[in-house]
Chain A
Amino acid sequence: GAGVSQSPRYKVAKRGQDVALRCDPISGHVSLFWYQQALGQGPEFLTYFQNEAQLDKSGLPSDRFFAERPEGSVSTLKIQRTQQEDSAVYLCASSLDGGDRGTQYFGPGTRLLVL
């Protein structure tokens, strides 16, 4: 079956521009996660949804970052007034289980470059 998909795969933005990154999780997966991976680093947790509820947003670096999953499937990560330090790969992952420790399946990521 289809895995996690993300779009766009690459995004170049001018500093100050708003961007929206989309994640299509595996159908039926309850949990959805967003991570930020800077160059040479491991993925860093941003936020977590269980169905449409955003249960943890402790990793969002500033109030310029906003995520939603209004119908419990597709999710959008929005970054307002982008800064150069926002340049990174943004990974989305989903897991079947709404409980703890379900295996997370990752999408290919969106590579964001802010000029």
Chain B
Amino acid sequence: DQQVKQNSPSLSVQEGRISILNCDYTNSMFDYFLWYKKYPAEGPTFLISISSIKDKNEDGRFTVFLNKSAKHLSLHIVPSQPGDSAVYFCAASATGNQFYFGTGTSLTVIP
């Protein structure tokens, strides 16, 4: 049973515009969330995280929003750049170090 879902397998965005990647989860015990970025033939790279005590965390062009009541988080990339083209995974944790990953969204930023 998939506890973390990314319902959009792919997304295309024009360079300079906003990319919005979405993630839904089912386990109300999840209290820590991360986004990872993955290029082909490489391992995932940590991008940004958010704790459930916050509803927003920002790092440069990347902002993660958390809506606990809707069990939904999103990653906003503004402005999008061609180098952002990659697969993005969201992950969630309830306690400890076990993280549950979504299936990923492949982002293509068109120059």
Most buried by A among B99, B102, B104: B99
B96 contacts A100, CB within 8 Å? yes
B43 contacts A93, CB within 8 Å? yes
A42 contacts B103, CB within 8 Å? yes
Closest to B87 in A: A42
A residues 31-52 near B (Cβ < 8 Å) are 31, 33, 35, 40-45, 48
Would you call B93 an interface residue if the criterion is a C-beta within 8 Å of the partner chain's C-beta atoms?
yes
A102 contacts B97, CB within 8 Å? yes
Chain B nearest Cβ from A62, distance in angstroms: 18
In the bound complex, residues from chain B placing their C-beta under 8 Å from that of A44 are 101
Chain A nearest Cβ from B102, distance in angstroms: 5
A106 contacts B97, CB within 8 Å? no
